[in-house]
């Protein structure tokens, strides 16, 4: 792929926008479809593969407006239907086309409080952009209107111009809501419950806020500054944060209600213990879960080798097992930490990879090598118990399995050796065991995920749950969707109680 | 934030600190640990067992040995200073009941986590035989505290500078050979000591519980860095432990994993020491 510099893209956009400015509202769909899709400006691949700065730099105003003009303003809004939080996408995009950025921001904020994050990490190609009429007409989902990039553009514009609106908070109700975990689900619940006037406390086990947004997603994809800004908004709304507080251990979950007087709890403790392959050699030195590798690099700042006290493994040849976003993050982080060769080993093909397309494209630009239709058979150690190689097997695609993806079938006698000193396992997570261990009356399924009803309520009165602790490993936006639903249930429950209390007093 | 209420030096490299942490003091039980960080931005997370706690004072006691840069910096903090991150209590509490005769074996700094367990076992009505050992006299800690709760007390040093000249496995073997075998052994100390205690008791079939202190990052069941092989299973020390059946733990693998970062850490430590020395020379 040819890398275009941000300057080239800006120049080009400035040149072509002139052609469309007079007829923003008058173009026929045929004309709009011909407007060139705008490429996301990005840092030079060679430069960025040794820094942690954000890779995608964001549209310029001209680029954003041109991209927005590509939207056909469909009557049947498939994009909105495919958005887990139902942002009114055509409406905010129309505002961008007309350079009404403040109005665009207001439209997004009706449905999502965290657009700077969603615009960066949502898998748009399988959600809002998957059924976009423009993409359909051009027979290429990659040519759909770049909704995610436009969402990000607006969020960044808001931040840059200092126009972040603090949502209105209703008068205090005297009701207290406890939120366990400051990840995406918890942040959404906090915002939604606080808006109704309830006192909200977020309990976080780590010393920093944001959950997976901070420890999992690297800064080259989601800078810490963005997370901090979103959290500042919540603080300005009056949300209280308690870090270094492990609910379940520092305080029993039910004690928050019984001893501390909370009226409702939302459990959003997120992903849990990493899964391993169950193959020989996985306990050798040099084998890491992606969770551990990324937590060291991101949260503990081990990337900053001169300052950080948390060490990170020095690697030359790294194999990453898995094909999701976490695998991409780990592979690209390993490269940035100085590894010479990084191989992503995935047992299916590129089409089946669950990672965002943009991340895969960025990884390729950065020199990550992809070994499709291959998988680890065993990891081989040296005399000191350190990884020295990995034996792999080749696969071919067979019949579709339950997930609808074609099942990879091993090719007999296809073993070969990959020369690696580090193996990072990124094949998913189980559930976090802390809450279920310390709250025996909580109903969980056989994988340890909390069982909830359609209102996100758990088996315990007043306790709700959502995000990865319910879904298993999912996405940021799905966690936010669950948070939204849980907050609505909590708000409804508390409103009914307040009504009842009023009735008694009267 | 946890304020240091008391700081005491127990031996050349071993320090005791009492920290203000009322919530942890209230919830903790024998066998549990905390994680602390002396800098929220760049500090590393250090897991340390809770040696004691006082609900009245709202305090917990930690005992640590200086082994690297972070523990050295911690040892340089003083009464009144605040430790930015102290989180816990983590891990499963020790299962305490009346087993009968229990041998509590503590090696070096391992006596610190052993103390509250021995205390609880004694309180539950067990006959407690305590064996504590260290390389030399200077490294023996909590002698009086351990002696006061023991029905039988044996002290040994590797070099014979104090007590009996022996490794802790020697008296442990003798106890196992008595007419009535002990019902249980709890061994806490350096991995190599726990390994050999487990090997000592194995032929006698005496259940031996060990408390593992592996590499750990979050300590709350997320990162998987603390995994150990126990029997045929992979277990996570932070949420499944820290205590396991010593006869099932793969100590050799655990010890090699503990050395994952040895080279990097040694460099960091010596680098930091050099700077310290330079600074001090500058001050003189």
Q: Answer with the one of A160, A195, A227 that is the final residue of a domain.
A: A160
Please indicate if any CB of chain A lies within 8 Å of the CB of B248. Answer: no
Q: What is the pLDDT of residues A106-150, one digit of tens each?
A: 999 888 888 999 999 888 988 999 999 999 999 999 999 999 999
Average pLDDT, chain B: 92
Q: What is the pLDDT of residue B281?
A: 62
The pLDDT-based confidence of B11 (bands split at 50, 70, 90) is confident
Distance, in Å, from the CA atom of A119 to the CA atom of A140, rounded to the nearest integer, reads 20
Please indicate if any CB of chain A lies within 8 Å of the CB of B222. Answer: yes
Q: What is the pTM of this model?
A: 0.91
Give the residue extent of every domain in chain B.
Answer: 2-90, 101-211
Could you tell me if A406 and A455 lie in one domain?
A: no
Q: Which one is predicted more confidently, A379 or A404? A: A379
- Which CATH homologous superfamily contains domain B2-90? Translation factors (2.40.30.10)
From chain A, the residues in CB contact with B43 under 8 A are: 309-310
Q: What is the pLDDT of residue B273?
A: 66
Distance, in Å, from the CA atom of B168 to the CA atom of B160, rounded to the nearest integer, reads 12
Please indicate if any CB of chain A lies within 8 Å of the CB of B229. Answer: yes
Q: What is the pLDDT of residue A473?
A: 74
State the CATH architecture for B101-211. 3-Layer(aba) Sandwich (3.40)
Could you tell me if A147 and A206 lie in one domain?
A: no
Please tell me which of the candidates B220, B239, B253 has its beta carbon nearest to residue A283.
B253
Could you tell me if A15 and A137 lie in one domain?
A: yes
- ipTM score: 0.90
Please indicate if any CB of chain A lies within 8 Å of the CB of B195. Answer: no
Q: What is the pLDDT of residues A479-503, one digit of tens each?
A: 888 999 999 999 999 999 999 988 8
CATH code of the domain covering residue A406: 3.50.50.60
The pLDDT-based confidence of A304 (bands split at 50, 70, 90) is confident
From chain A, the residues in CB contact with B252 under 8 A are: 385
Q: What is the pLDDT of residue A306?
A: 84
Q: Is residue A137 part of a domain?
A: yes
Could you tell me if A141 and A230 lie in one domain?
A: no
Distance, in Å, from the CA atom of B43 to the CA atom of A6, rounded to the nearest integer, reads 37
The predicted model gives A310-319 an average pLDDT of: 93
Q: What is the pLDDT of residues B235-245, one digit of tens each?
A: 999 999 999 99
User: Which residues is B209 bridged to in the sheet?
Assistant: B186, B245
Could B234 and A205 be called an inter-chain contact, meaning their C-beta atoms sit closer than 8 Å?
Answer: no
A207: domain range? 176-272+430-505
Q: Which residues contact A335 (CB under 8 A, 6 or more apart)?
A: A49, A342, A366, A367, A368
Could B222 and A304 be called an inter-chain contact, meaning their C-beta atoms sit closer than 8 Å?
Answer: no
Q: What is the pLDDT of residue A474?
A: 79
Closest Cα in chain B to A272: B222
Report whether A335 contacts A418 (CB < 8 A).
Answer: no
Helix axes B169-176, B191-201, angle to 10 degrees: 20
Distance, in Å, from the CA atom of B243 to the CA atom of B245, rounded to the nearest integer, reads 7
Distance, in Å, from the CA atom of B19 to the CA atom of B196, rounded to the nearest integer, reads 34
Could you tell me if A155 and A193 lie in one domain?
A: no
Report whether B139 contacts B14 (CB < 8 A).
Answer: yes
Nearest residue to A235 (alpha-carbon basis) of A166, A158, A338: A166
In terms of average pLDDT, the best of A163-172, A399-408, B222-231 is: B222-231
The predicted model gives A451-463 an average pLDDT of: 95
Q: What is the pLDDT of residue B105?
A: 97
Closest Cα in chain B to A211: B222
Q: Answer with the one of A383, A410, A427 that is the final residue of a domain.
A: A427
Q: Answer with the one of A427, A451, A467 that is the final residue of a domain.
A: A427
Q: Is residue A187 part of a domain?
A: yes
Domain count, chain A: 3
Q: How far A207 CA sits from the closest chain B CA (Å)?
A: 7
Q: Is residue A165 part of a domain?
A: no
Q: What is the pLDDT of residue A491?
A: 96
Q: Is residue A356 part of a domain?
A: yes
Could B221 and A433 be called an inter-chain contact, meaning their C-beta atoms sit closer than 8 Å?
Answer: yes
Could you tell me if A104 and A65 lie in one domain?
A: yes
Q: What is the pLDDT of residues B186-207, one digit of tens each?
A: 999 999 999 999 999 999 999 9
Report which secondary-structure segment, H or E, holds B46. Answer: strand B46-54
Q: What is the pLDDT of residue B280?
A: 60
> Would you mind telling me the total number of residues written for chain B in this entry?
284
From chain A, the residues in CB contact with B221 under 8 A are: 272-273, 432-434
Whether residue B284 is predicted with pLDDT greater than 60 in this model: the reply is no
Instruction: Report the DSSP pairing between strands B243-245 and B208-211.
Output: antiparallel
Q: Which residues contact B108 (CB under 8 A, 6 or more apart)?
A: B65, B133, B134, B135, B139, B141, B189, B190, B193
Whether residue A83 is predicted with pLDDT greater than 60 in this model: the reply is yes
Q: What is the pLDDT of residues B66-89, one digit of tens each?
A: 988 899 999 999 999 999 999 999
The predicted model gives B175-182 an average pLDDT of: 93
């Amino acid at each position: 792929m040819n890398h275009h510099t941000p300057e080239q893209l800006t120049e080009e956009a400035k040149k072509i926008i002139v052609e469309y400015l007079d007829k923003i509202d008058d173009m026929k769909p045929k004309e709009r479809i011909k407007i060139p899709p705008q490429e996301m400006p990005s840092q030079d691949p060679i430069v960025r593969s040794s820094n942690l700065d954000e890779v995608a730099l964001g549209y310029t105003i001209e680029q954003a407006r041109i991209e927005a003009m590509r939207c056909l303003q469909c009557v049947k809004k498939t994009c909105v239907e495919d958005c887990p939080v139902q942002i009114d996408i055509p409406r905010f995009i129309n505002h961008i086309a007309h350079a009404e950025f403040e109005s665009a921001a207001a439209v997004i904020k009706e449905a999502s409080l965290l657009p700077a994050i969603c615009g960066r990490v949502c898998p748009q190609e399988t959600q809002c952009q998957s059924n976009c009429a423009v993409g359909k007409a051009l027979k290429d989902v990659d040519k759909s209107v770049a909704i995610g990039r436009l969402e990000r553009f607006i969020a960044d514009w808001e931040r840059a111009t200092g126009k972040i609106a603090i949502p209105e908070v209703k008068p205090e109700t005297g009701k207290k809501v406890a939120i366990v975990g400051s990840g995406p689900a918890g942040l959404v619940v906090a915002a939604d419950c606080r808006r109704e006037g309830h006192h909200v406390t977020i309990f976080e086990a780590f010393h920093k806020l944001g959950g997976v947004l901070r420890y999992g997603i690297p800064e080259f994809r989601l800078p810490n500054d963005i997370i901090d800004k979103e959290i500042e908004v919540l603080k300005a709304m009056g949300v209280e944060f308690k870090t270094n507080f492990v609910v379940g251990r520092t305080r029993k979950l039910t004690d928050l209600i019984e001893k501390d007087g909370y009226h409702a709890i939302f459990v959003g403790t997120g992903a849990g213990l990493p899964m391993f392959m169950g193959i020989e050699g996985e306990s050798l030195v040099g084998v890491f879960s992606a969770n551990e590798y990324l937590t060291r690099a991101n949260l503990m700042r081990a990337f900053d080798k001169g300052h950080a006290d948390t060490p990170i493994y020095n690697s030359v040849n790294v194999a990453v097992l898995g094909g999701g976003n976490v695998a991409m993050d780990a592979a690209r982080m390993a490269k940035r930490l100085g590894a010479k060769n990084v191989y992503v080993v995935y047992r299916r093909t590129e089409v089946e990879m669950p990672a965002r397309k943009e991340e895969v494209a960025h990884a390729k630009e950065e020199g990550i090598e992809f070994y499709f239709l291959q998988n680890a058979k065993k990891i081989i150690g040296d005399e000191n118990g350190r990884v020295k190689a990995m034996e792999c097997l080749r696969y071919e695609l067979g019949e579709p399995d339950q997930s609808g993806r074609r099942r990879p079938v091993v090719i007999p006698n296809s073993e070969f050796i990959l020369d690696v000193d580090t193996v990072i396992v990124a094949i998913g997570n189980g559930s976090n065991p802390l809450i279920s261990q310390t709250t025996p009356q909580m109903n969980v399924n056989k994988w340890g995920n909390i069982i909830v009803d359609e209102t996100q309520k758990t088996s315990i009165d007043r306790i709700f749950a959502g995000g990865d602790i319910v879904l298993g490993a999912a996405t940021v936006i799905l966690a936010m969707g669950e948070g939204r639903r849980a907050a609505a249930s909590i708000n409804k429950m508390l409103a009914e109680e307040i009504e009842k209390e009023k009735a008694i007093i009267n | 934030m946890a304020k240091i209420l008391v700081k005491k030096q127990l031996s050349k490299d071993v320090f005791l600190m009492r920290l203000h942490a009322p919530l942890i003091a209230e919830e903790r039980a024998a066998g549990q640990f905390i994680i602390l960080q002396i800098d929220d931005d760049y500090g590393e997370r250090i897991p340390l067992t809770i040696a004691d706690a006082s609900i009245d004072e709202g305090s917990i006691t930690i005992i640590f040995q200086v082994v690297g840069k972070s523990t050295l910096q911690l040892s340089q903090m003083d009464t009144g200073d605040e430790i930015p991150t102290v989180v816990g209590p983590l891990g499963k509490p020790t299962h305490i009941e009346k087993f009968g005769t229990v041998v509590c074996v503590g090696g070096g700094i391992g006596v610190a986590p052993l103390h509250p367990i021995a205390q609880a076992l004694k309180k539950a009505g067990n006959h407690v035989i305590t064996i504590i050992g260290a390389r030399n006299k200077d490294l023996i800690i909590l002698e009086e505290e351990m002696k006061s709760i023991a029905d039988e007390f044996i002290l040994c040093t590797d070099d014979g500078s104090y007590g009996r000249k022996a490794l802790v496995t020697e008296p442990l073997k003798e106890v196992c050979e008595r007419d009535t075998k002990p019902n249980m052994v709890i061994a806490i100390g350096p991995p190599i000591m726990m390994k050999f205690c487990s090997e000592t008791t194995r032929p006698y079939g005496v259940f031996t519980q060990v408390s593992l202190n592996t590499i750990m990052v979050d300590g709350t069941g997320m990162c998987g860095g603390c995994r150990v092989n126990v029997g045929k299973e992979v277990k996570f020390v932070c949420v499944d432990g820290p205590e396991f059946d010593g006869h099932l733990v793969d100590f050799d693998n655990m010890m090699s994993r503990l050395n994952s970062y040895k080279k990097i850490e040694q460099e960091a430590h010596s680098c930091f020491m050099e700077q310290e020395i330079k600074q001090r020379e500058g001050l003189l």
